[in-house]
Amino acid sequence: MLALLLSATVAAAATKAKSERYVPGIWVDPDGCEHWVMDDGWEGYMTPNVTPDGIPVCRRVKACLVESSDQLFAVDKHYINPSNRKRLADFFSNAGATSYSIYGHTDSDASDAHNMDLSMRRADAVAEIAKSVGVRVSKVRGFGEREPIATNATSYGKSRNRRVEIICIK
């Protein structure tokens, strides 16, 4: 009986001694932020990479195309005319990225809620063109008036803020 118990204990110890192989890595999300990844092939673990102060570590991403909303859309609309649809489809077909993030922006005219909705509808319209040519769209967001690149106090500044940014992820 003791021999049987002893052999079962040795077999259990041998089973526990096998270690699993973990593959560490860093995944960069569409916003350029790093995430630590640990994967054993069956399940994994991921956590954001942060500085000692708790700030996420993010790489600067640059738009590969910034389109003026004034050229793409009529005032307060999200429909894209056929010639601009073709131009955007050609861009997505030839840009060579593995995926795209598409961000819509507005000026500060109208309410915040209206601008958030309009910028999202415009970003969605551009994303639909990208998807129609078979490319992967990883993120679509509308920022409304919340991320201006120029002052909203002048007509020129407002026109610069009305835009759709396309981020190419290679």
Phi-psi region of 24 (alpha: psi -120 to 50; beta: other; left: phi over 0): beta
If asked whether residues 52 and 81 sit together in one domain, one would say no
What pLDDT is attached to residue 101?
Answer: 92
Closest Cα partner for 123 from 159, 167, 78, 160?
78
What pLDDT is attached to residue 5?
Answer: 47
Q: From the CB of residue 104, how many other CB atoms can be counted at a distance below 10 Å?
A: 29
Measure CA 9 to chain center: 51
> What CA–CA distance (Å, rounded) separates 70 from 61?
24
If asked whether residues 72 and 121 sit together in one domain, one would say yes
Q: Which domain holds residue 72?
A: 63-169
If asked whether residues 117 and 150 sit together in one domain, one would say yes
Would you give per-residue pLDDT tens digits along the chain (170 residues)? Answer: 545 444 555 555 555 555 567 777 777 776 778 888 887 777 777 888 888 988 888 776 778 999 999 999 999 999 999 999 999 999 999 999 888 999 999 999 999 999 999 999 999 999 999 999 999 998 999 999 999 999 999 999 999 999 999 999 87
Q: From the CB of residue 167, how many other CB atoms can be counted at a distance below 10 Å?
A: 21
Q: Which one-letter DSSP state was computed for residue 146?
A: S
What pLDDT is attached to residue 39?
Answer: 78
In a domain, residue 13? The reply is no
In a domain, residue 148? The reply is yes
If asked whether residues 74 and 130 sit together in one domain, one would say yes
What pLDDT is attached to residue 51?
Answer: 87
pTM assigned to the model = 0.69
CATH (domain of 163): 3.30.1330.60
- φ, ψ of residue 164 to 5 degrees: the values are -125, 125
